[in-house]
A = this chain, B = another copy of it.
Amino acid sequence: MGSNLKDVAALAGVSVKTVSNVVNGYVHVSATTRERVQAAIDELGYRPNATARSLRSGRSGVLALAVPELGVPYFAELASLVVDAAATHGYTVLIDQTAGAKDRELVVLGGIRHHLVDGVLFSPLALGVAELRRRTDATPMVLLGERGLRGPTDHVGIDNIRAARQATRHLAERGCRRIAAIGVQSVGTGATARQRYAGYRKGLADAGLELDPALVLPAPRFHRAEGYAAMATLLELPDPPDGVFCFNDLLALGALRCLHTRGVPVPEQVALIGFDDAEEGSYATPSLSTIAPDKAAIATTAVELLLSRIRAGEPPDRPRRLTAGYALVARESSAR
């Protein structure tokens, strides 16, 4: 245990360089030498020291992924896909949870384990373009999430506004006339909520419906409990909605449970659509209609973009903004 190249070299009676060649699969090593070195490696149980290797080569083979919280299925699924995509390229992923808190997102901008991480994938919630612009850390970074964040940073996401507009129109096409939105967030924070809200308004306009402020409810964290509470509020309105667009599936699932509890039939009396396509939604009763972003495409595209930036070794002259696809998946919760 704890042996190094020198130990192996000594045991095999060769130089350090030769051992290094064998370890790294360098071709020009004679078969006998290779065998002898391999024997020494096995005998000593030698493992290359990744830290020393990184220091020397300037590459660690580690990416960082910063998300609000893995407890939210969307981020868990995304993380899962990112980890697999990175593994495909021989990279490992280090996870950072920000809870969507501004101070913790700023820490991510400042740099995580400087030089221990070759690149960063970041899904910010609270940060805006201004903060992004102020970043000085030179580690390559790719943002995950909404398209249209007009910052200086590389970016992979779907067209949120268009998707939200389509979701809203979908409800209108199913005969909904009073369509609520759950998930609006206070100004200054995340682009996600703002963009989905913008899409919602456009969708209403497309259908010739008026925006009723009473039908627009906030939800700072996109959790089930907030969806439940917001739905309860909506049901107490003198003129409750007949359709609800929730800004993510968790909110929709919470709303759905609230509707069940109050005995409101879905989709007959209230139709529902979510966003994210959490697997959970397809097993709910009724199954949940949703916007399904192509998460696999987001993950692989982002990883590959990041790796290309790492390989280039220099800051991009202009940011790349890549768009992944999505689909509207109509299920039982809006079938009417």
Q: For the complex, what is the distance from the CA of A87 to the CA of B94, rounded to whole Å? A: 12
Mark contacts of A35-49 with chain B using CB atoms, 8 A cut-off: 1 yes-contact digit, 0 otherwise: 000000000010111
Pair A51/B115 contact, Cβ less than 8 Å:
yes
How many chain copies? Answer: 2
Contact of A93 among B55, B61, B94 (CB under 8 A): B94
- Chain A residues touching B, majority SS: mixed
Q: For the complex, what is the distance from the CA of A256 to the CA of B116, rounded to whole Å? A: 46
A side interface size, CB within 8 A: 52
A2, A70, A228 — most chain B CB neighbours (10 Å): A70
Pair A113/B50 contact, Cβ less than 8 Å:
yes
Contact of A71 among B50, B77, B228, B260 (CB under 8 A): B77
Contact of A257 among B71, B79, B112, B285 (CB under 8 A): B285
A-B pairs with beta carbons under 8 Å apart, 6 shown: A52-B55, A83-B96, A94-B95, A224-B279, A253-B280, A284-B284
Residues of A with Cβ closer than 8 Å to B?
A: 1-2, 45, 47-52, 54-55, 60-62, 69-71, 73, 76-77, 79-80, 83-84, 87, 92-97, 111-116, 136-138, 224, 228, 253-254, 256-257, 260, 279-280, 283-285
